[in-house]
Amino acid sequence: MAQFEKFSDQQLLEELRRRVKCAEKQTKLNSILVGPPGSGKGTAAPKLKADYCLCHLSTGDMLRAAVAAGTEMGKKAKAVMDAGGLVSDDIVVGIIKDNISSPACSKGFILDGFPRTLAQAEKLDAILAAKGEKVHTVVDMQCDDEALVERITGRRIHKPSGRSYHIKFAPPKVEGKDDITGEALIQRKDDNEKTLRPRLQAFHDQTKPVLEYYKTKGIVSNVNAMQDMKLVYADICKAYGAKV
């Protein structure tokens, strides 16, 4: 019970209500958030997860978790990473498949950072089709590259939950501390301009064909991620609302 002591009675009650609501939810929503680093995916995803009873699947987090858990795919990924190689599509897709089949994803999922390539998108569709499912909506979070530099360098993360803050645009209530747990926030080591620009170019090169692929299915919604985050979230909810 010690793990609950850091939360107030009100927070615990709200979480209980959320879980009851999720247990009663009948619809399922499979979604993908597409956007460059700093576009706000990390800020929106935890709230979408709570509001729509979804699981949030971030490729990097899933790889690290699979390695730590020693799963079959995690062992394969660790062997490749230890050798200094790039994790193959087959391994990444295998980890995705394991996760979307978990009880936590029974009401649907938010994919963040996957699929990055057309081949991955096609494999994801094949996995879902085998379960009688599909991707319902793809949200394209559009953001000006130059504006991302300020966003990225000021970003702070609560690593255990994935909650994201910004020292200027979305500061925590207490500087350097997570609003919910009071735990320390971190700055990712690659959140700087030097590493950002190559990442942005790679993002555009890789994801353009992915977006074109989903546009042919009529499931892409464009969201102006340059707006205030409350407006961004409202627009994502509009895209979700048509599917639930």
Question: Tens-digit pLDDT profile for the chain (244 aa)?
Answer: 555 566 677 767 766 776 677 766 778 899 999 998 888 888 899 899 988 999 999 887 888 888 888 888 888 888 877 776 667 888 888 888 988 988 889 999 999 989 988 999 999 999 999 999 999 999 999 998 888 888 888 989 998 888 889 998 889 999 999 999 999 999 988 788 888 888 888 888 888 999 999 999 999 999 999 998 899 999 999 999 855 4
Structure tokens at 166: 């910004």
Q: What is the C-alpha to C-alpha distance for residues 46 and 74, in angstroms, rounded to an integer?
A: 24
pTM score of the predicted model: 0.75
Distance CA 72, CA 67 (A): 9
Sign of CA dihedral 46, 58, 244, 142: positive
Give the pLDDT of residue 48.
Answer: 93
Round to whole Å and give the CA distance between 30 and 128: 10
Phi, psi of 85 (to 5 degrees): -95, 175
How high is the pLDDT of residue 87? 76
Q: Contact at 8 Å (CB) between 201 and 110?
A: no
Which residues are part of the catalytic machinery? Answer: 41, 116, 155, 188, 199
Residue of 29, 34, 33 whose CA lies nearest to 46: 33
Query: In the numeric block, which tokens belong to residue 231?
Result: 């407006």
Secondary structure class of 227 (helix, strand, coil): coil
Residue 1 confidence (pLDDT): 52
CB 147 within 8 A of CB 196: no
